[in-house]
Structure 1
Amino acid sequence: MIEGTTMSSTSSDRTRREWLIPVLLLLPIAALFLIGYVFPISQLVLKSVQSESGWTLKNYSEIASSSSFFWIVLKTLKLAATVTTICLIVAYPLAYTISRCSPRVATSLLLVVTLPYLTSVLIRTYAWIVLLGPSGPINKMLLNVGLISEPLQMVFNSAGVYIGMVQVQLPLMVFPLYAALVRINPSLTNAAQSLGSPPSDAFLRVTLPASMPGLVSGCTLVFLSCLGFYITPELLGGPDDYLIAQGISLRVLILGNFNEAAAQSSVLLIAVILIFLVFRNRIADELDDRPQGGAGISSDRAASGLSLAHPLAGRLSSALHGVLLRSHELLSLVRRPLLFFCAGLAILLLVLPFAIVVPLAFSDAPYLTFPPPAYSLRWFTRLFGNSQWLDALSFSLRWAGFSALLSALVGIPAAFALVRHRFPGRLPIYLLLISPLIIPHVVMAVSLFFAFAKSPLIGSPLAFALSYTLIGAPYAIVVMVAGLKRFDRTLERAAASLGAGPLTTLRTVTLPLLLPTLASAAIFAFIVGFDDVVFGLFLSGPSATPLPMRMWDNIRLEISPQIAVIAVLFLVVLAALCLLRLFVGAALKGRQDRAAVRAGHG
């Protein structure tokens, strides 16, 4: 009886520990999100149903009956759908090409895709203003080859918005497509071709169906990101390119119509959340605990695509068999040149802005002109001699760096809790913690502005520390979750078998092996804070002006080569961080190899 009681007590203690550990790991980020995310957004929604006389739905009825708001929403949806479609068409050939390359080439190409994603949206938008301008290089090239007789108006209108948005959003489409394509077993397409199917037909029946999870994920991410995107439409668009994010900002910063802005923000928030919940399984795929072999899963999905499901489609395919076969044979002849051409265009679209901003930084001209008539360091000298720019740079470096550290400190324990422990509500908690990646920043910034407007937090550095951590911590969580899912726990079990406790194993084995992942998490968190503009529009003050706000004012009012200097400095810092991360990874791999050799000799 006593032995049974002891065993029951031991089991109860173990159960309490299993519950307590993830709670303690999630506690820091839960406190952060409660103060800076859940409370402000709840205040935003409450403000949308308030007026001077009390609770009311008047704000919603006004925007529901407003034809202008209806057209703004329609234009926003059109932009999001069009950009998503173009990104899919441009990204698929690139992702497919990368998935079929050797590991070394694929790594290089993925780096080319990643670097623009990590580079400031302001810098890339600035580059497109130069590229698409009436006297820009694209118009000059078209004039020189005789395709046009006068410069095209491609900036400060819808054309500029679409081009800039596609370039900004393209990496978000490439990454999930590549992740899905690289898991497809090549033997499936080989089997289809061996049975007489032309390569293009095998692609449509095998590869495309098997890549649908990545396609859906990429389209969802791009569409949601476009719904509340602010920077590129604001800088590249014209008066007719007025979207819902601009409308919210206008009502808060200029008109002072806070209740209507809260209602519009709530409508945008609800729309994004609904789409987010519908596709939650695709977005949270990395938290899936099923075996990640990939080949078997992809094989089943691909196999389902080998036959046409609908009887009518099957009969139509049989009737047109001859025509389709000849079309596929013709397409198969040109598939490789066509694929490489499309992939090359996608790479060109990604890197073209950098080919512009780097020469501009060394321009000797007193104004913006490309190509520069001569080269000098005059704009570097001007930047380092301007105290306002230096103060803004120092502010961004300090507080983005502090927020990156804070993001890692709260995000890494949360990732351990989500990956290493099983508890009720795990998936909803994960979705909540990564939701700032999806929720439009303009909504989050307005909610912080309303929640803390009467406190000294607005206009202080602490406001930026809070906002940067809120948008940086989800990146740290996503990177760490992916790293922990790939982590081989054999060495952890070996350390435990030698008598090492959990904390000792964590300190001496787990964290050192995860050092490259930790570095990546911190780099992503730093860059997302350093690049932010939207929070700066609502939270800046005389003693708290980040560098992106200086850049924002310069682009809107002056458009000088000064931004190109910032771009070069940013690229240098980014390259140094990436090299540091690669060095740490190489050093760690060498250490692991030496340890494995010693263990083998032992």
Structure 2
Amino acid sequence: MGILTASPVKRHNAVTILALAPALCFLIIFFVYPIAKVLADTVFVDGQWDVSGYVQTFRNSAFLTIFGRTIVLSLAVTAICLALAYPLAHTLAQLKGPVAAIFLLMVAIPYITSVLVRTYGWIIILAPNGLINKALLSAGLIDKPMQLVFNMLGAYIGTVQVQLPLMVFPIYASMKRFDHTLLDAASNLGSNRLSAIWNVYLPLTRVGIISGCSLVFLSTLGFYTTPALLGGTSNYLLAQAITVRLSNLADFAGASTQAAILFAVTVVLMIVFRKWLTFHNEHQFDRLPAGRRNVARYKARLRDAGNRRLGPALDHLGATLSHLLRPLRWTVSIFVLACLVLPLLVVIPLAFSGSSYISFPPPSLSLRWFKTFFENSQWLEAARFSLVTCGAAVVVSIALSIPAAMAMVRRKMIGRETSYLFLIAPIVLPQVVTALALYLLFAQSGLVGTKAGFIVAYTIIGLPYAVIVLVAGIHQLDDSLEMAAANLGATPLAAFQTITLPLLLPSIASAAFFTFVMCFDDVVFGLYLGGPDAVPLSVRMWDDIKNEISPQVAVVATLVFGMMALAYVGYLTIPALLRKTIHRSKR
């Protein structure tokens, strides 16, 4: 009897392990092992324990300055993003219908738009001859252009704009789950709007706040592209310092030590915030009150919100400010949305500029820069290289993520949260650390400057996004259909092929789209792993922005926008056409 009862359990565990194994093994080989080797090389020199590299690094005043600047920027960006994202998320949560969809699209489109393109847009806006300086000069508010870019101010502005969606989405998700009858109850108990928000709404949306803050802070710690382009040459952050030590100084030991320090800080913070990073799980929201069944639980808080009296003056102030909350929230929301989309609105017209230099608005309209792009073999080869390597990485990422996501959602397993956190770790940990580790590994195996090396690197980028999208998609599927198929005698594989997979196709398409976009946008891996015959389009754009800042980048951005629009239209129309075709064939 013991054998008969143990067999299904063993079979269940074996299936779960087999489903997770490909994705886990891939990351262990190409993500964990290279980083572990870098960490080991920093403390074991010539086979002996040696931490002198860390001692020298922490005694280096330049490093301490750079490290402190990185921490300060990450904290400041997180605080600014929270201050801007919270009112916007609140506005989005209140809206319904087409207006809500448009506003959400205005947040989502910048998120999936190339960081290079957005940074390029900010250069145009903040430059001495850019939009802001032109407007201020025309209004007579300044006598000469202000230096708004290529300094820490520019780095702050660009980084906040890039990181904002990471703060908005988790806060918005927590607000959508909030039971708004609690605010009405607080008002009925005598609380003004400001007091109700402070004592009820703000604490009960803390899940989204903590999740957003942890995502933004961890992402900013190792952020490279925007600070490197918008910041000054004397205002290095840690990710830039690591790259400079490797590429300019050929100081492999110093670069590895600084990368190890950045990695250690990020891992510690990732462990601390691990439960807030697994935001896909609906049980995460169990900490929030949802529905009338929880009103009694918060009765004491509501009474406190209604009965609290801080004196006539403060009470009057709170009532006065309550009337200003709505217009203030809308003002902030419109300002944030404008900042999110403004770089995109500036870039596209420049693609049709007839000028030989950057000038906005364009002095004349022309297709000259499109012609230049299609006649330039270097740009075309870079585009071809990116399409091939990113496309291959998408295929590998989807193939690895589907069984892994199915196992984490459908199978009962120990360590579900740990497995999920491990699979999304590459997008949380600093990419510059992974790039350095892969470079040192690929340099020994001859994979630097090859398509195979880029496919591996892009798969490391794409796999976490594919897992996140597919886990969310599988959560939405009705598992009773699979159970019904099993009751009718279908094997798990047959049930997956005939029921689950067709229903999952929209999620697979979304996962493929996000994976391709994120791989196509990569700059860091391109800078570390590129070679004479392996130059991605993103690196070609990077060089153009660094060296000449021509409208050529705007042409690439416009073409990419066009392809994304076509892909989105296809995503909306193809499934409907397939359903109609199947319906007609059945007739």
- The TM-score with structure 2 as length reference comes to 0.95
Output the CA distance in 1 between the equivalents of 2:452 and 2:292: 47
SS in 1 for 2:444: coil
Output the CA distance in 1 between the equivalents of 2:299 and 2:121: 43
SS in 2 for 1:168: helix
Residue 93 (1) aligns with residue 87 (2): yes
Residue 333 (1) aligns with residue 327 (2): no
Identity level (%): 44
SS in 2 for 1:238: coil
What is residue 215 of structure 2 aligned with on the other side?
221
Output the CA distance in 2 between the equivalents of 1:527 and 1:241: 29
What is residue 513 of structure 1 aligned with on the other side?
503
What is residue 183 of structure 2 aligned with on the other side?
189
SS in 2 for 1:61: helix
Output the CA distance in 2 between the equivalents of 1:591 and 1:581: 16
Pairwise CA distance, 1:324 = 2.8
When residues 223 and 304 of structure 1 are mapped into structure 2, their CA distance, relative to the original with a 3 A threshold, is farther
2:393 to 399, 403, 409: 403
Conserved 8 A contact 1:206-1:302: no
2:233 to 239, 248, 269: 239
1:381 to 358, 368, 371: 371
When residues 299 and 182 of structure 1 are mapped into structure 2, their CA distance, relative to the original with a 3 A threshold, is farther
After superposing the two structures, state which structure 1 stretch, 51-60 or 288-297, moved more.
288-297
2:313 to 304, 323, 328: 323
SS in 2 for 1:296: coil
What is residue 69 of structure 1 aligned with on the other side?
63
What is residue 565 of structure 1 aligned with on the other side?
555
When residues 255 and 301 of structure 1 are mapped into structure 2, their CA distance, relative to the original with a 3 A threshold, is farther
What is residue 245 of structure 2 aligned with on the other side?
251
Pairwise CA distance, 1:124 = 0.6
1:481 to 442, 463, 471: 471
Output the CA distance in 1 between the equivalents of 2:283 and 2:321: 40
Residue 146 (1) aligns with residue 136 (2): no
1:431 to 421, 425, 429: 421
List aligned pairs for 1:255-274, cutoff 5 A: 255-274=249-268
Residue 202 (1) aligns with residue 192 (2): no
When residues 501 and 588 of structure 1 are mapped into structure 2, their CA distance, relative to the original with a 3 A threshold, is farther
Residue 575 (1) aligns with residue 572 (2): no
Output the CA distance in 2 between the equivalents of 1:16 and 1:589: 40
The one-letter code sitting in structure 1 at the alignment partner of 2:174 is A
Conserved 8 A contact 2:469-2:511: yes
1:492 to 482, 490, 493: 482
SS in 1 for 2:301: coil
Output the CA distance in 2 between the equivalents of 1:196 and 1:314: 5
Question: How big is each residue's C-alpha offset from its partner over 1:445-503, in whole Å with a ceiling of 9 and x where there is no partner?
Answer: 00001122121111111111001001100011111111122222232233333333322
Pairwise CA distance, 1:291 = 8.2
Residue 416 (1) aligns with residue 406 (2): yes
The one-letter code sitting in structure 2 at the alignment partner of 1:178 is Y
After superposing the two structures, state which structure 1 stretch, 510-519 or 578-587, moved more.
578-587
Residue 10 (1) aligns with residue 4 (2): yes
Pairwise CA distance, 1:293 = 11
Question: How big is each residue's C-alpha offset from its partner over 1:548-591, in whole Å with a ceiling of 9 and x where there is no partner?
Answer: 11001100001000000011011111122222223356568989
The one-letter code sitting in structure 2 at the alignment partner of 1:552 is W
Output the CA distance in 2 between the equivalents of 1:519 and 1:423: 27
Conserved 8 A contact 1:50-1:56: yes
Output the CA distance in 1 between the equivalents of 2:221 and 2:295: 31
Output the CA distance in 2 between the equivalents of 1:460 and 1:542: 10
The one-letter code sitting in structure 2 at the alignment partner of 1:569 is L
Q: What is the total number of aligned residue pairs between the two structures? A: 585
Output the CA distance in 2 between the equivalents of 1:591 and 1:440: 46
Residue 115 (1) aligns with residue 109 (2): yes
Residue 342 (1) aligns with residue 332 (2): yes
Conserved 8 A contact 1:209-1:305: no
Conserved 8 A contact 1:210-1:302: no
- The TM-score with structure 1 as length reference comes to 0.92
Pairwise CA distance, 1:530 = 0.5
When residues 546 and 305 of structure 1 are mapped into structure 2, their CA distance, relative to the original with a 3 A threshold, is farther
Conserved 8 A contact 2:473-2:504: yes
Output the CA distance in 2 between the equivalents of 1:325 and 1:74: 41
SS in 2 for 1:363: coil
Output the CA distance in 2 between the equivalents of 1:574 and 1:195: 51
1:56 to 47, 50, 54: 50
Q: What residue ranges of structure 1 are gaps of 5+ in the alignment?
A: none
What is residue 47 of structure 1 aligned with on the other side?
41
When residues 203 and 90 of structure 1 are mapped into structure 2, their CA distance, relative to the original with a 3 A threshold, is same
Q: What residue ranges of structure 2 are gaps of 5+ in the alignment?
A: none
Residue 356 (1) aligns with residue 346 (2): yes
